[in-house]
Structure 1
Amino acid sequence: MTAPPSDHEEFARSIRASGFRFVAGTDMRGHLLQHGALEDWDAFAASWNDLAPDAYLAQVGRHRRRRHAVFRAGRDGAIERQPHQPHYQALTYNALQGDIERWFEPVREHIADGASLRTVLGFCRDFFSTLAPQTATWHIELHQFRIEAGPDNEGQPTPEGVHRDGVDYVLVLLIDRHNIVSGTTTIHDRDGSLLGSFTLTAPLDAALVDDARVFHGVTAVTPQDATSEAHRDVLVVTFRAQT
């Protein structure tokens, strides 16, 4: 399935107008396939079973696993992985864990070089470059997240609350959700007013966010069946103009 260019431009217009857009997985697949292949998707999705605990949240008892990688891309050039480095957010953007360098386990090399991830990054580079024609080079960070929930603990996709990431644009792509309820994404303006909400429920459901304009958060997830394992897997990709 290939999305017509008019559809592509239609949700670009909505992001320019409102600062965010939900894209259903069936539509998102078409947009991604304009930028590459998803032939290794099963292996890509299975790599979420190999994430490392987020040690920075251990002291507050929230169950989150993740891996992290950094890339650089010119608007028309190759997407190049950068040496492993810490993830840093100013306290202004992350009241819970801001102003510290957080080192996470790196994304596995075969996942970073795989078709699915390169397709996602290619889509983001081309689409976000359309929204920011003045940007020549992008600093890209990506995070594999698994949020776990149990009978005695809610899973917190955004433990820092409603926030901005301190970047230009964000893609949140659902990989899998198993045995959970809730996990609703909420979008807010600067005064906290709710602009919209939606729940990522199917693989490839996506949220595209203009981080400079709106705030976002995700409600806690709980198990549907308290006796079984429950998780929410997402890929978060952030783009910031390289200075």
Structure 2
Amino acid sequence: MTTALPALYDQLRQDGFAFATADTMRDLLDAATLPDWATFTASWDTLAPDAYLASVGRHRRRRHAVFAADAQGVRREPDQPHYQSKTYNTLQGDIERWFEPIVADGPSLRRILGFCHGFFGGLAPQVDRWRVEVHQFRIEARADEAGEPTPEGVHRDGVDYVLVLLVDRTNIESGTTTIHAPDGRLLGSFTLVHPLDAALVDDARVFHGVTAVTPKNPSLPAHRDVLVVTFRADATGG
């Protein structure tokens, strides 16, 4: 852990993004000690369809929650909509989107949020309070229809920092994360393959996207499960 953190900090400061292997994240989260890990990962099986995305002919499942993070720690806020302007989401911007709330709010999620608070807070120590949004996503692929992890294309989320943590890949091919400069130049690419592989992104500096996923065996169910955590400085927190 002592060597992994400085390397991740250096890479994020230098490049605007970092890929963390599952082994690295397992150590940083001390994942072997989490009592609810199996329940946490199984909660992706209960995700509700994203009705907003279905309205434009695409399909995925998700849940959502909002937290606040400050010197007193990380605490859950009342359920509220997810909102992005069209500046950041040309597909579904400028609307309030209500999703089913996250129910797996136990030690695993709390430890992930605690890691993010410490890591991202170390990059911006001047921030007293963060608005944190948590998204569970399941992208399903079918024989006749690829799954789109980022249907809006290469984009920014309109926040300060992003963690994308792979939870599961079942019968899936592709799903390559690409990182781009504001002028569109490709800065790097990698594929989250193993549970706990992660991408850490400085959203103010770089754009990101994920290529479509297809089933390895078209006759079997195929999905890609990720947890996305975003941190944005909350000016209303004083």
Q: What TM-score does the superposition give when structure 2 sets the normalisation length?
A: 0.97
1:180, 1:221 within 8 Å by CA — same for their partners in 2?
Answer: yes
Instruction: Indicate which of 22, 42, 56 corresponds to 2:19.
Output: 22
Choose which of 87, 92, 97 in structure 1 pairs with 2:82: 87
Identify the match of residue 65 of structure 2 among 49, 69, 73: 69
Divergent runs of 4+, >2 A: 36-39
Residue 80 of structure 1 aligns with an amino acid whose one-letter code is R
Q: Distance in 1 between matches of 2:215 and 2:99?
A: 26
Amino acid in structure 2 at the alignment position of 1:89: Q
Give the deviation of 1:58 after TM superposition. Answer: 1.1
Name the counterpart of 2:36: 40
1:7 aligns with 2:4: yes
Whole-Å Cα distance in 2 between the matches of residues 162 and 97 of structure 1? 14
Give the aligned partner of residue 190 of structure 2: 198
* Code of the aligned partner of 2:3: S
Unaligned runs of 5+ in 2: none
- Size of the alignment, in residue pairs? 235
Pick aligned residue for 2:123 from 131, 135, 148: 131
Tell me the CA shift for residue 176 of structure 1: 0.0
Counterpart code for 1:153: E
- Between the aligned partners of 1:230 and 1:93, the Cα distance in structure 2 is 29
Contact kept? 1:166, 1:212, Cα under 8 Å:
yes
Match of 2:228 among 223, 229, 236: 236
Query: What are the superposed Cα offsets for residues 31-52 of structure 1, whole Å, 9 maximum, x if unpaired?
Result: 1129x94221111000000000
Would the aligned equivalents of 1:37 and 1:119 in 2 still touch at CA under 8 Å?
no
TM-score when scaled to structure 1? 0.95
From 87, 96, 104, the equivalent of 2:99 is 104
1:159 alignment partner in structure 2: 151
Q: CA deviation at 1:241?
A: 0.3
* 1:212-231, Cα deviation, whole Å (9 max, x unpaired): 00000000000000000000
The one-letter amino acid of 1:83's match is P
Contact 1:179 1:231 in 2 (8 A): yes
Structure 1: gaps spanning 5 or more residues: none
Asked if 1 retains the 8 angstrom alpha-carbon contact of 2:87 and 2:93, the reply is yes
Counterpart code for 2:209? G
**Match of 1:61, SS?**
coil
Aligned position for 1:189 = 181
Q: Percent identity?
A: 65
Query: Contact 2:4–2:24 at 8 Å: present in 1 too?
Result: no
Q: Which amino acid aligns with 1:81?
A: R
AA of the residue aligned to 2:131: H
Structure 2 CA distance, aligned partners of 1:6 and 1:204?
A: 18
